[in-house]
Amino acid sequence: MIILGINSAYHESSAALIVDGKLACFIEEERINRFKHGKPAQIDNPHVLPEGAIEGCLAFAGLKVSDIDCFAYSFSQSGRLQNIGVDEHLTPGMWGTREGEMVFHQNLQRVPDELAKIVGSYRHDRLVWIDHHLAHAASAFYCSPFADALVMVIDGIGEFDSISVYRGRENSLEKVFSLPYPHSLGFLWEKFCTYLGFSEHDACKLMGLSSYGNPEVLADRFRQVAWLDSETLFKVDNNVTRFRSADMSGLEALFGPARHRDQAISVEHRNLAAALQQFTEKVLLQLCQKMQALGPFDHLCLAGGTALNCVANAMMQQHGGFKEIYIQPAANDAGSAIGAALQVWCGVLGNQRQFVMNHALWGPEYSDAQIEEAIAQTMFAAEKVADPAAIAAALINEGKIVGWFQGRMETGPRALGNRSLLADPRRKDMRDILNRKIKHREDFRPFAPSVLAEAAEDWFEIPQRSLAGGFMLYAYPARPGKAEQIPAVVHVDKTSRIQTVDRAVNPRYHKLISEFARLSQVPMVLNTSFNDSEPIVMTPADAISTFARTGIDALFLGNYLIKRSENA
């Protein structure tokens, strides 16, 4: 049984191929079209399918479109119509207006015809529409190792709800709680991102900035925006936030003029980011407590964009009352393609679960012949080496920045050792070097370490082990005396967003870090995504292109090494 999951309703367009209940391949469209998030979330484009990702998944699996038995689309066919008439503050003709929502709805109805163009015949009878939050929940629960778990989905909005909670049992999901728009953590983050001069997608920047602020300074004013509520969980005053409008007047009345992108970041901006992070953690802790009253539950699964908040995830790990937490590595909308397909397999067709997503390496990989062909199209000379891990570790120990392109591409927004830039975590100046030579990002944003799984607890205070520890989704405090040894990967609050690396999951990456540990007595490397203000590289050609225009010192493509000329 072959099921193709598709996400394209908003952004992070993606495709996931499930074969007999197991994930075979997953690709985000942005990795192919090189446009961040695949496409913008607009009322006129939910029918724009991730054709490149679909073709890539099928090609990798050696399948044809005619082999697909069922298509699963991660959105309800008519659920968004609930949004009509809810808001007072709207942009004419856009989200929330009758005109805008009808444009979205009508374009959504074009999905079957657009799919037919790809598959060559009309397959309406084989297309299943899966509610957006249900798809998110399925992506977490059906990929987890748990037979019974609480499943939380927290994002901006699904069709109408901003939070949905499910009870997962074996191959079924039952909704037990929901919170409707406009009471949305995800939209709070989007609105404050734009208020503070970033894009709506830059929650990771605000999370990093929050560690520099004091949340108590603006706590009283923040409570005029959003506050905890014992009955509903929390509430948002949308007369202040005006989520579906570019109007910032409500926030400006409380916090002063909105920041322009080129303005310096003030203490007030840092404090506001801290207040938002603190409020998020309070909401999530109260949600854990509220849901535990229905249980108790030993296990928690998380999905939705808010599940990428590694600081809040660690807080729930420590205080949420669960023995173990599993987080879908593609917790954003991209992962809903996986969930939609698994919901069809388990929930619609009634099949038993066949799969645990115990690693995140589900994208395509490239043969030596394909790598050689990509190199041949350039002016670079490459050397085939016998032990790339050992050579890379030696270069990192010398202070070099290494592009590490290996095996199957990662699932989700984190680079996890197959499409990574690697550097020495001991060098205090490495953050500035990376930003100057390659990444060109804000200096307040931290870099993260990949740590040998067997050594992680010696260096960081980890409250409980989790499969999701390998997905770089928790921020942990460095143990006393350790932060000073790895300044390039410890944030201002003395935490690190770590990835644990297991030998059985990624033996070559584990060997590289082990070799670096032998040379340096430090069992980790700095790991950041292989990109420069673009989507993470997917192909050898992408990697060579980024190498060519940045200051990366050496590039490993499988067993092939390209070193930058000393005179370059």
Strand partners of residue 27: 15
CB contact at 8 A, 356 and 346 = no
pLDDT band at residue 123 using 50, 70 and 90 as cut-offs: low
Q: Using a CB cutoff of 8 Å and minimum separation of 24, what contacts does 367-376 make? A: 368/558, 368/559, 368/560, 370/540, 371/540, 371/557, 371/558, 371/560, 372/560, 374/539, 374/540, 374/541, 374/544, 374/557, 375/540, 375/544, 375/557, 375/560, 375/562
pLDDT per residue as tens digits for the range 153-204: 999 999 999 999 999 999 999 999 999 999 999 999 999 999 999 999 999 9
Overall pTM > 0.95: yes
Q: What distance in Å separates the CA atoms of residue 299 and residue 325, rounded to the nearest whole number?
A: 6
CB contact at 8 A, 41 and 157 = no
What integer is the mean pLDDT of 51-73? Answer: 96
pLDDT band at residue 565 using 50, 70 and 90 as cut-offs: confident
Clarify whether 299 is annotated catalytic.
no
Q: What distance in Å separates the CA atoms of residue 237 and residue 191, rounded to the nearest whole number?
A: 13
The domain defined by 2-143+331-348 folds into Nucleotidyltransferase; domain 5 (3.30.420)
With 0-12 CB in 10 A as exposed, 13-18 as middle and 19+ as buried, what is 235?
A: middle
Contacts of 230 (CB under 8 A, 6+ apart): none
pLDDT at 451: 98
Residue type, 399: G
CA angle 82, 30, 548 (to 5 degrees): 155
Q: Which helix (H) or strand (E) holds 526?
A: strand 524-529
CB contact at 8 A, 156 and 190 = yes
φ, ψ at 213 (rounded to 5°): -110, 175
Q: What distance in Å separates the CA atoms of residue 121 and residue 57, rounded to the nearest whole number?
A: 19
Q: Which residues of the chain does CATH 3.90.870.20 include?
A: 368-563
Q: What distance in Å separates the CA atoms of residue 539 and residue 139, rounded to the nearest whole number?
A: 26
Number of helices and strands (H, E) in the chain? Answer: 19, 21
Q: What distance in Å separates the CA atoms of residue 481 and residue 346, rounded to the nearest whole number?
A: 48
What does the block give as tokens for 381? Answer: 């000379």
Contacts of 504 (CB under 8 A, 6+ apart): none
Q: Which residues of the chain does CATH 3.30.420.40 include?
A: 2-143+331-348
pLDDT per residue as tens digits for the range 319-344: 999 999 999 999 999 999 999 999 99
Q: In what order do the strands lie in the sheet with 172-180?
A: 172-180, 161-169, 148-154, 299-303, 324-327
The three-state DSSP-derived secondary structure of 364-414 is CCCCHHHHHHHHHCCCCCCEECCCHHHHHHHHHHCCCCEEEECCCCECCCC
Chain centroid offset of residue 503 CA: 23
pLDDT at 475: 98
pLDDT per residue as tens digits for the range 197-211: 999 999 999 999 999
pLDDT band at residue 528 using 50, 70 and 90 as cut-offs: very high
- Whether residue 439 has pLDDT greater than 90: no
pLDDT band at residue 228 using 50, 70 and 90 as cut-offs: very high
Q: What distance in Å separates the CA atoms of residue 565 and residue 568, rounded to the nearest whole number?
A: 5
Give, rounded to a whole angstrom, the gap between the first and last alpha carbons of the chain. Answer: 52
- Whether residue 77 has pLDDT greater than 60: yes
pLDDT per residue as tens digits for the range 234-272: 999 999 999 999 999 999 999 999 999 999 999 999 999
Q: Of 2.60.40, 3.30.1890, 3.30.70, 3.30.420, which CATH number belongs to 185-327?
A: 3.30.420
The three-state DSSP-derived secondary structure of 277-297 is HHHHHHHHHHHHHHHHCCCCC
Contacts of 67 (CB under 8 A, 6+ apart): 2, 58
pLDDT per residue as tens digits for the range 9-48: 999 999 999 999 999 999 999 999 999 999 999 999 999 9
What does the block give as tokens for 104? Answer: 């979205």
Question: E strands, 141-238, where?
Answer: 148-154, 161-169, 172-180, 226-229, 233-236
- Whether residue 124 has pLDDT greater than 70: no
Residue type, 131: D
What homologous superfamily is domain 368-563 in, according to CATH?
A: Carbamoyltransferase, C-terminal domain (3.90.870.20)
To the nearest whole number, what is the mean pLDDT of the chain?
96
Q: Which of 131, 22, 129 is nearest to 70 (CA)?
A: 129
Q: What distance in Å separates the CA atoms of residue 185 and residue 182, rounded to the nearest whole number?
A: 9
**3 state SS of 71:** strand
pLDDT band at residue 440 using 50, 70 and 90 as cut-offs: confident
Q: How many CB atoms lie within 10 A of CB 293?
A: 7
Q: How many CB atoms lie within 10 A of CB 260?
A: 7
- Whether residue 567 has pLDDT greater than 80: no
- Whether residue 566 has pLDDT greater than 80: no
Bigger pLDDT: 275 vs 119: 275
Share of the chain above pLDDT 70, in %: 99
Catalytic residue among 11, 201, 359, 491: 11
pLDDT at 121: 67
